């Protein structure tokens, strides 16, 4: 039996188009359905907000909010080789049930656009990884 949902949820993807297991998540009484709060309209707002981030602190704040409110974990890591451009970062969402294939693509793409516009955030990310630290 599907668990009752006290908030609007994301519409299901067309059959065969996604591997999010939305129905399995809804049928799991212990499932964390917070990610389903990210409707298409809310996704557009989140993407716009990510693209308008201008500081490292704002980026970390958005990451914390996504994890607290939606259970989405964003990972931004520099390549083990060298980082010459923003493409040298691996930006991805940790896999979890209910996380739509489209969201797994749009959020990292928005973060990448944000980093391209704000090199200071890129340097802060590298510094947080102790690249520029007192090693």
Check residue 80 and give its pLDDT.
67
Residues 77-133 pLDDT 10s: 876 666 566 677 888 999 988 888 889 999 999 999 999 999 999 888 888 765 444
Q: Is residue 59 very low, low, confident or very high in pLDDT (cuts 50, 70, 90)?
A: very high
E strands, 1-135, in order? 74-78, 89-93
Work out the average pLDDT over 21-35. Answer: 86
Work out the average pLDDT over 18-23. Answer: 83
Our CA angle for 93, 94, 100, nearest 5°, is 65
Q: Which tokens hold the place of 82?
A: 């060298």
DSSP 47-88: HHHHHT--SHHHHHHHHHHHHHHH---EEEEE-SS--SSGGG
Q: Which tokens hold the place of 119?
A: 């090199």
Check residue 85 and give its pLDDT.
61
Our CA angle for 9, 11, 16, nearest 5°, is 135
Helix (H, G, I), strand (E, B) or coil at 90: strand
pTM of the model: 0.85
Check residue 130 and give its pLDDT.
53
Q: Is residue 35 very low, low, confident or very high in pLDDT (cuts 50, 70, 90)?
A: very high
Q: Which tokens hold the place of 32?
A: 């964390």
């Amino acid at each position: 039996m599907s668990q009752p949902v006290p908030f609007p949820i994301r519409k299901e993807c067309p059959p065969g188009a996604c591997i999010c297991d939305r129905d399995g998540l809804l049928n799991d009484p212990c499932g964390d359905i917070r990610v389903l709060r990210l409707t298409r309209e809310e996704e557009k707002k989140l993407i716009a907000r990510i693209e308008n981030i201008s500081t490292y602190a704002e980026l970390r704040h958005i990451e914390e909010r996504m994890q607290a409110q939606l259970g989405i974990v964003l990972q931004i890591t520099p390549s083990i080789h060298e980082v010459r451009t923003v493409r040298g970062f691996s930006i991805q969402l940790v896999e979890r049930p209910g996380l739509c294939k489209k969201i797994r693509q749009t959020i990292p793409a928005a973060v990448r656009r944000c980093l391209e516009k704000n090199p200071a955030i890129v340097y802060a990310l590298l510094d947080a990884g102790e690249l520029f630290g007192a090693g």
